[in-house]
Amino acid sequence: MAGSGTAHMRNTVDSVLTVRDLTVEFRISKNKIVKAVSGLSFDVVKGETLAIVGESGCGKTTMARAILQLPPPNSGEVIFDGTDLTQLPKENLRSARTSMQMIFQDPISSLNPRLTVHQLIDEPLEIWDRGTRVERDERINKLLFSVGLEPDLVLNRRSYEFSGGQCQRISIARALALDPRMLICDEPVSALDVSIQAQILNLLLFMKETHGLTMLFISHDLAVVKAISTRVMVMYLGKICEVAPPDVLYTKPAHHYTRALLNSVPIPDPTKQIRTELLQGEPPSPMNPPSGCRFRTRCVGASALCAEQEPQLREISPGQFVACHHPIV
Amino acid sequence: MVFFALFGPLLPFEHWTFVYEDALGVTPFSPGHILGTDNNGYDLLSSVISGTRMSIFIAITAVGLGGLVGSALGITAAFVRGKIDLVLSTAFNVGLAIPNLVLALALVSVLATNVDMTNPVPIWRRVTVLVISLTIVLIPILGRIARGATLTWSGREFVTAARSMGMRDMQIIRKHIVPNVLPALIAVAFLAVGVVIIAEASLSLLGVGIPDGGSWGGMIARGRNDLEYSPHVLYIPVIFLAITVISTNQIGEVLRRKLDGREAKV
């Protein structure tokens, strides 16, 4: 696993978001500290969709929130459009955050049940005083229409009157109201039905095209990631395992953890036999992570070297970076 | 009850301290005195009505003040977290640990009694102190409710979303926290009105509330002495008290259901 591996960073002028050495720790009691994210670095280039995958509890959501400074990370840099968000004073951060909006996992809990759809989408416009009442109403209608909802039917209803998919559409409309440059989607479809998942994913892709968005897409579902991403980053216990374009990652994964993740994807064909063995055991506690490579306790290819030395990210084929001493060739 | 409280003074009765010399301890339903009189010749209907005013006034003011201060403190504690939360919730718990009545009793007896028996404390001062001490009793109760409700709501993702949109903390509290916390608070506040009426009655019964039967508790205290001869003097204010408490609880319940109906569906 990469400690402070930066081989995958592209350092281009085009990068919208650059994260360096991001660390988030939670203090549980006096001397117990959970290292949810430890020394993560990556960059997102304009127009790209970076997918972040990993099992539950590996720090994906914590990382996304740390990027938005909600709450701020313990250390590291989050450079968005040339400014380091971690150094910004509160008032500047407030306005800087508007060009980076988030879509949450639970569509119902992300909408206040006491507000109508009109109030919900008007909220960001109202905060920043964008345009007159008439202009704002027009914009709300346009936004609703673009996410596939009929404004006249939904404007005066409240979130509990909608299905999960519809709520997620409202969330997307709300997130786009401020014309952000970047969208952080935190498992936006994992609470939805498979048929609705596809609709929402297509909507996100369409919005990305029409609004020229850059996306950070967090998911634990590799099938979803394959459909939407241009680059995939695999995380395990707060660190990066592998970074690669999806077609490379899916056909020849280099990290043992990536392979295990791919093997866990259900195959929608009952006649096909599953040959590969699945991962044994639970991920170790982030309070006391294993030495060296964090995955070694569950890795089939682990050796003595893995316990001593932490593997760093290195490029093993064009565009594919892996943090492993014994990558699968 | 509300009718009595609002229009009591307009009703065509003699003031409750008017003494009917000819009718001492008359039973209810006798001519001229529907609810009878007590042994001093006070008309009970008129007493009860003026008692309503006093009791309900005290209860509503105390709950109103307690609710305002309590919810402000509770919401702040839960929203800011950290040290402020620790201090405030410890204070709430300490407040809750002291039995309500004992606390109110202590406050009233310190603040509103006069050592010099010949120069009693004026009634307005007694009422003020009573309201303040009942408010102090209520703050931790309502504060804790507000804190708990705020904790659940501020953890919701729409609060994070509002922050990411650049909403200020005060706006978030006003727009997202308060409307969602309010139903729980209102329900408890109505329950508290009942509790406060009873607490005020208990204090009066113990002789530290409103003196000389100015409120229901005072009437009960007075009626207690004549229980053997004219029990209705005791029963009538008790019945009124019971009806009021039950109906405030009912109103609270109905309101809660109405305000919370949407939530119940989610």
DSSP state for residue A298 in the 8-state scheme: G
Chain B neighbors of A105, CB-CB under 8 A: 157
Q: Does residue A116 belong to any structural domain of this protein? A: no
Q: Does residue A91 belong to any structural domain of this protein? A: no
pLDDT of residue B210: 66
Cβ contact, residue pair B160, A114, below 8 Å: no
Confidence of residue A1 (pLDDT cuts 50, 70, 90): very low
CATH of the domain at B135: 1.10.3720.10
- CB of B167 within 8 Å of any CB in chain A? yes
B112 pLDDT higher than 50? yes
pTM: 0.79
Q: Does residue A133 belong to any structural domain of this protein? A: no
What mean pLDDT is reported for chain A?
A: 87
pLDDT of residue A184: 93
Which of A91, A97, A114, A116 to mutate against chain B (most B CBs within 10 Å)?
Answer: A114
Q: Where does residue A42 fall: left (phi above 0), alpha (psi -120 to 50 degrees), or beta otherwise?
A: beta
A221-273 residue pLDDT tens: 888 888 889 999 999 888 899 999 999 999 889 998 998 888 887 777 777 76
pLDDT of residue B131: 86
DSSP state for residue B82 in the 8-state scheme: H
Q: Does residue A239 belong to any structural domain of this protein? A: yes
pLDDT of residue B60: 86
Question: One-letter amino acid identity for A7?
Answer: A
Q: Does residue A48 belong to any structural domain of this protein? A: yes
For A227, the domain range is 1-81+181-197+208-267+274-329
Q: Does residue B150 belong to any structural domain of this protein? A: yes
* Three-state SS at A287: coil
Among B169, B265, B216, B264, smallest CA distance to B49 is for B216
- The owner of tokens 């970047």 is A182
Cβ contact, residue pair A127, B163, below 8 Å: no
Provide mean pLDDT across the span B50-71. Answer: 85
- Beta strand A182-186 with A75-80 is unpaired
For B40, the domain range is 36-261
Residue of B156, B165, B180 with shortest CB distance to A123: B165
pLDDT of residue B194: 82
Chain B neighbors of A91, CB-CB under 8 A: none
Cα(B178)–Cα(B172) distance, integer angstroms: 9
Among A181, A174, A143, A263, smallest CA distance to A17 is for A181
- CB of B166 within 8 Å of any CB in chain A? yes
What residue in B sits closest to A163 (Cα-Cα)?
B266
Q: Does residue A299 belong to any structural domain of this protein? A: yes
Chain A neighbors of B265, CB-CB under 8 A: 160
CATH of the domain at A325: 3.40.50.300
- Strand order of the β-sheet with A75-80 is A32-45, A15-29, A75-80, A83-84
- Count of domains observed in chain A: 1
Nearest-Cα distance to chain A for B149, in Å, is 14
B242 pLDDT higher than 70? yes
Query: How far does CA B16 lie from the centroid of its chain?
Result: 23
Give me the helices (H) in chain B, please: 2-7, 44-80, 82-97, 100-111, 123-154, 157-164, 169-172, 178-205, 216-225, 232-265
Provide mean pLDDT across the span B81-101. Answer: 86
Cα(A108)–Cα(A166) distance, integer angstroms: 10
First to last CA, chain B: 36
Higher-confidence residue: B41 or A13?
A13
Query: How far does CA B19 lie from the centroid of its chain?
Result: 30
Provide mean pLDDT across the span A179-195. Answer: 89
ipTM of the complex: 0.79
Q: Does residue A89 belong to any structural domain of this protein? A: no
Among B169, B161, B157, smallest CA distance to A102 is for B161
Residue of A111, A128, A178 with shortest CB distance to B158: A111
Q: CA angle, B23 as apex, B18 and B26 as ends, to 5°?
A: 110
Residue of A70, A114, A158 with shortest CB distance to B164: A70
* Three-state SS at A1: coil
Q: Does residue B14 belong to any structural domain of this protein? A: no
Among B196, B66, B70, B68, smallest CA distance to B144 is for B70
What residue in A sits closest to B166 (Cα-Cα)?
A94
Among B122, B138, B88, smallest CA distance to B210 is for B122
